Structures are given as structure tokens and as C-alpha cells.
Structure 1
């Protein structure tokens, strides 16, 4: 997942709303950590895409001001915001070799990979850094 930009807001842990409530233009899904160990709030953005291949899903998510969720973030979305998700499979940002990419089925929660040319759904998330 891309690094946060200088314009990305920073929120304090104490100011986070309950799971599912609005935060910075989307629904607060919970907390996760980046690869470098920083803790971030995950926000599910309201727009949803259907019938897009993986490359188009990646571009669409960027147009929404976010990114496709990683596999762990997709699991977090399923665990915490299932009622807000379409019960179909959705692309993640993670490739599985040159021709495949991972997706998460928001009806069942399982994850597997499919050819990047297949068409599925997509949601976009935004990661918001937490103040120390």
C-alpha cells in the first residue's frame, strides 16, 4: 500500500469514533499496522465498483482518493463492516504472481486468487496515520 502523503490528516487514538461511524469521508473500519510498524485507522470509502478487472480496480480506487485493501484489511472490513459490503468477491491490492491477484468474498470472508483479467467488485480504503 502506498505511503500516506503530507496532506493526509492525522488523528489521535482518543478521537476515533466507534466502528462503523463516519471518519474523514468514510466508515471507520478499525486499526491496523503498516509494514514499517506505524498504526493507522482504516476508513472504507463510500463508492463501490462492479465488473472491473484488477488493473481497472486499482485505478478506480486511486480515483476515489484511496486504494484497494490489502488482504488483512479486507479481513478487517469483513469482520467489522460486513453489513456495508456487497456479498460478492472484491479485489485486494495484492498480486499473486504475474497473472493473478487476491480477492476476498464479503459474503463468506474467504480469500483466494483469480486471474487479473476477471471482473469483480472493488471497494476503496484510506489509511489515516495516528498521532503518537
Structure 2
């Protein structure tokens, strides 16, 4: 057993101070500044949040539009969303919708706007019952919601 001396305590104190500073540096808060936004929701619209780009930067405010498309192929779903004044949501947007607007979504699978990167006959969907995403043939018939995006 090492004898407890002032030098041993000071060495341990120095080691603890170093560990404390390392921890403070690694958990320092990151401040994300989003310019103020002032917009009005139309009847039936729901604010879903801010969609981020691949680097984590704010991309747009995401608004879930009212209405629900059913029994649509992917192309029909895109046309339906356009007729609602919006677009099909991206996969990232679908995750945001699931997180913040789940109570306003049917627990069914819904088309995204994204084609599968390796198979142009398929597109991505999100099952809003559980939030998982997968691919289907674009010819399958599914559901759709429309979103509009507002610049950040």
C-alpha cells in the first residue's frame, strides 16, 4: 500500500483536474442558431419541426398538410401530393413526422419521395405504425401524406 503523502494527493488532484477538463471539453454544448421564423399554418396543417441536411444543418421547416392519399402507386402518390400543394416527404422528413406528428398519421406504410439508389423500380416508404423504413416496387399501392417546406 502506498503511503498517503501531500505529494501523492497533489498528483491525484492534478490527474483529476486533467480528467475534469477533458470531460468539460468533450461535452461542451453546441449552439445551433436558426433564424427566426414567422409563418402561419393553414387549417389542418401540423408543424413537424426543422428538417436537417446530411451535415446536420437546418434545411427547412416541415409542415404536414391535411389529407391522406390511399391505394396509390408511387407515381400516383407524387401526383396526389402535388395536387395537395406539397410534395411527398423525404426519408428524413418521414422520421421527423413520425417523431412529432405520429398522432396525425395513419399506422400504415406511406411513400417517400426517394427512389431506391440501386433499383429504379423501387422507392422508399415509412410504416408510421412503428417508424421503420424499407423499399417497395413503385407499382405497389400504398398510402401518402404531403408536406410543404419553408425555408429556414
Q: TM-score normalised by the shorter chain: which range applies?
A: 0.7 to 0.9
Structure with greater helix share of residues = 2
Mark the runs of 5 or more structure 1 residues left unpaired by the alignment: 1-11, 17-21
Instruction: Name the residue aligned to 1:4.
Output: none
Match for residue 109 of structure 1 among 95, 106, 131: 131
2-structure distance, mates of 1:14, 1:119:
37
Aligned length: 114
Moved more, 25-34 or 78-87: 25-34
Larger relative contact order (C-alpha < 8 A, sep ≥ 6)? Answer: 1
Query: Structure 1 stretches (4+) deviating beyond 4 angstroms?
Result: 34-38
Mark the runs of 5 or more structure 2 residues left unpaired by the alignment: 1-34
SS at match of 2:99: helix
RMSD: 2.0
Which has the larger Rg?
Answer: 2
- Once the two structures are TM-superposed, the CA of residue 34 in structure 1 deviates from its matched residue by 4.8
Instruction: Name the residue aligned to 1:3.
Output: none
1-structure distance, mates of 2:150, 2:42:
9
Structure with greater strand share of residues = 1
2-structure distance, mates of 1:90, 1:103:
5
Provide the TM-score with structure 1 as the length reference: 0.79
2-structure distance, mates of 1:62, 1:88:
21
Provide the TM-score with structure 2 as the length reference: 0.69
Instruction: Name the residue aligned to 1:27.
Output: 46
2-structure distance, mates of 1:100, 1:54:
9
Does the alignment pair 1:44 with 2:44?
Answer: no
SS at match of 2:145: strand
Match for residue 98 of structure 1 among 112, 120, 144: 120
